[in-house]
């Protein structure tokens, strides 16, 4: 039964929920897109190439949450200076994730699965950690409802692989229910008081912080 759900049922489950829920999320997405355009300017949608099933690249969609403020040298200001009140609202409510429902419709993501991270992380995973790419990436996942950005990378990947090994309809329903609760209570958003996770630098090594990869500067790298 679990294999049947993994192969066919999960996709049908995703499509059913997204299509049935479209009268709710589509108007909300439209309203938020207008607000992003008015408050933060263009572009409204943040796009970035991420690894999907089997590590295959796809373009993820999110609502933009940062301004493009720059210093005199032409370099963007640090993330915490470009993430204003409205951007923090989008992230704390996870409304910035709504465009990912389009990725679900396109078959690039699932509602539940390990969060898609950066392409540059692919060669850094241990063989066990790389198993997170055995299923479609998700908008929410087991790691997100068990700490999200408050977790270390190692613990996050451990939870991702735990999900891959136990994927089932009942587990997906459990994760979706806990996700709703997390979003309402705005739990687990920050990592050590910061808006973003530090960059992952490999299965063995130190964690780097700082301004880092500009390609990921408008995205919560921890998912």
Q: Where are the domains of the chain?
A: 2-216
**What's the average model confidence in pLDDT over 146-152?**
80
188: pLDDT confidence band, cut at 50, 70 and 90?
Answer: low
Residue showing tokens 């700490």? 147
Percentage with pLDDT > 90 across the chain: 63
CA distance 94 to 115: 13
Checking if the pLDDT of 48 tops 50, the result is yes
Higher pLDDT, 214 or 216: 216
* Long-range residue pairs from 69-73, CB within 8 A, at least 24 positions apart, any chain: none
Identify the pLDDT of residue 72.
Answer: 59
**Beta-carbon count within 10 A of 61 CB:** 18
Q: What is the mean pLDDT of residues 65-73?
A: 69
User: pLDDT grade, residue 206 (50/70/90)?
Assistant: very low
What is the enclosing helix (H) or strand (E) of 20? helix 10-20
Predicted TM-score of the model (pTM): 0.83
Task: Tell me if residue 98 falls in helix, strand or coil.
Answer: coil
| pLDDT of 84 | 84
| Whole-angstrom distance, CA of residue 24 vs CA of residue 157 | 32
């Amino acid at each position: 039964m679990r294999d049947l759900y993994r192969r066919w049922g999960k996709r049908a489950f995703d499509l059913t929920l997204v299509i049935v829920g479209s009268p709710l999320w589509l108007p909300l997405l439209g309203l938020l897109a207008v607000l992003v355009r008015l408050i933060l300017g263009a572009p409204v949608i943040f796009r970035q190439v991420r690894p999907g099933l089997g590590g295959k690249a796809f373009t993820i969609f999110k609502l933009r949450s940062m301004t493009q403020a720059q210093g005199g040298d032409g370099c963007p200001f640090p993330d915490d200076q470009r993430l204003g009140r409205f951007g923090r609202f989008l992230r704390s409510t996870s409304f910035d994730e709504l465009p990912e429902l389009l990725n679900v419709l396109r078959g690039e993501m699932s509602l539940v699965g390990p969060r898609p991270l950066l392409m540059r992380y692919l060669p850094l995973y241990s063989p066990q950690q790389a198993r997170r790419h055995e299923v479609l990436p998700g908008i929410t996942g087991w790691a997100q409802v068990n700490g999200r950005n408050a977790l270390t990378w190692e613990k996050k990947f451990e939870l991702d692989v735990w999900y891959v090994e136990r994927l089932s309809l009942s587990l997906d329903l459990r994760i979706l229910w806990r996700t709703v609760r997390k979003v309402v209570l705005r739990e687990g958003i920050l990592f050590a008081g910061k808006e973003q996770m530090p960059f992952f630098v490999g299965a063995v090594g130190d964690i780097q912080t700082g301004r880092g990869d500009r390609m990921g500067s408008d995205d919560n790298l921890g998912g």
